[in-house]
Structure 1
Amino acid sequence: MKKFRRYLALTVWVSAIALMFVACENDLDVKQVYSFSLETMPVQKKITNGETAEIRCMLLREGDYDQARYYIRYFQPDGKGELRMDDGTIFAPNDLYPLDRMVFRLYYTSHCADQQVIDVYIQDNYGQVVSASFSFQNDGKDDTEDE
């Protein structure tokens, strides 16, 4: 009877260990891709040639994954101007730049008297993209009006 108890105890112990290994999976389900959005403060609608408009931006993320990387680019379908980051980086249209913070400012400087539109795109290293479009109208002032 003692042998049977030992055998039974050993069998239960081995079975418990085997179930523990079978029940555990090696793949840990870690969510890496979180949606995000680009929020901006209201931006002026009128601008003159040479004037600079400030665009205050904040990236809002659904979750926080430390391996997520963000990038910024812009395209200007109408008008002519220059877009730069608050750290002084001047963007070339449609080039991709790393975005290392969630709160930042963009500065758009007009180089024409026509209607101007810029489209700003933020993308992450998982292929998700959000965008915002900003439109500026010439406020009707001409450089020759002062004469």
Structure 2
Amino acid sequence: MKYFIIYPSLMKGIMKKRNLLSVLLIGCFMLISCSKELDIQTNFPFTLEIMPVPSKVISGEIVEIPCHIKREGFYQATEYSIRYFQHEGLGSLMLQVDKPLKPNKQYKIPLDSFKLYYRPKSKESHKFQIWVSDQFGNEKTAEFDFN
């Protein structure tokens, strides 16, 4: 019978090679699982804050409606737009004085803080709703009711 004798120095060399091979394999698996693309969040929810407005309006008098878009996060390329629909009454809604908005048409909002102007053209009650949205599908709505 022949016996194989493994010398301690030879055993240490085999263990070092095995450990090195294990480290290399683990490193390869880690590199394969990594993605080279950065995950940048662009879609942030927001709230629409509207300052109090008078409940009664006079025909022909302009009512100022201060609004602010409060973002939960910031992505510079986010664009907001507004549209509106009037349910009752006759009047015009404006982003700038003397430039009335058309119902159900999207208009770009230039800044996070903006003012709407409403000019009633009749003495009856006025009801309209606005929708503020971004290009990611987030949308907030507000309803106004003037007597």
TM-score range, shorter chain: 0.7 to 0.9
Give 1:102's aligned residue.
112
Change (3 A) 1:47 1:123: same
Equivalent AA in structure 2 for residue 63 of structure 1: G
Partners of 1:81 and 1:112 within 8 A in 2: yes
Give 1:123's aligned residue.
133
Give 2:7's aligned residue.
none
Aligned-residue offset at 1:102: 0.4
Q: How many angstroms apart in 1 are the aligned matches of 2:97 and 2:125?
A: 27
Q: How many angstroms apart in 1 are the aligned matches of 2:33 and 2:114?
A: 47
Pick from 73, 79, 83: which aligns with 1:73? 83
Equivalent AA in structure 1 for residue 42 of structure 2: Q
Partners of 1:58 and 1:104 within 8 A in 2: yes
Q: How many angstroms apart in 1 are the aligned matches of 2:89 and 2:101?
A: 16
Q: How many angstroms apart in 2 are the aligned matches of 1:22 and 1:89?
A: 58
Q: Percent identity?
A: 31
Give 1:41's aligned residue.
51
Q: How many angstroms apart in 2 are the aligned matches of 1:26 and 1:134?
A: 49
Q: Moved runs in structure 1, 4+ residues, more than 4 A?
A: 3-10
Matched, 1:136 2:136: no
TM-score with structure 2 setting the length: 0.79
Partners of 2:97 and 2:117 within 8 A in 1: no
Aligned-residue offset at 1:8: 5.5
Give 2:4's aligned residue.
none
Partners of 1:86 and 1:104 within 8 A in 2: no
Q: How many angstroms apart in 1 are the aligned matches of 2:85 and 2:105?
A: 9
Equivalent AA in structure 1 for residue 59 of structure 2: N
Q: How many angstroms apart in 1 are the aligned matches of 2:56 and 2:38?
A: 52
Structure 2 residue ranges without an equivalent (≥5): 1-9
Pick from 54, 63, 66: which aligns with 2:73? 63
TM-score with structure 1 setting the length: 0.79
Equivalent AA in structure 1 for residue 94 of structure 2: R
Give 1:23's aligned residue.
33
Equivalent AA in structure 1 for residue 129 of structure 2: D
How many equivalent pairs are there?
137
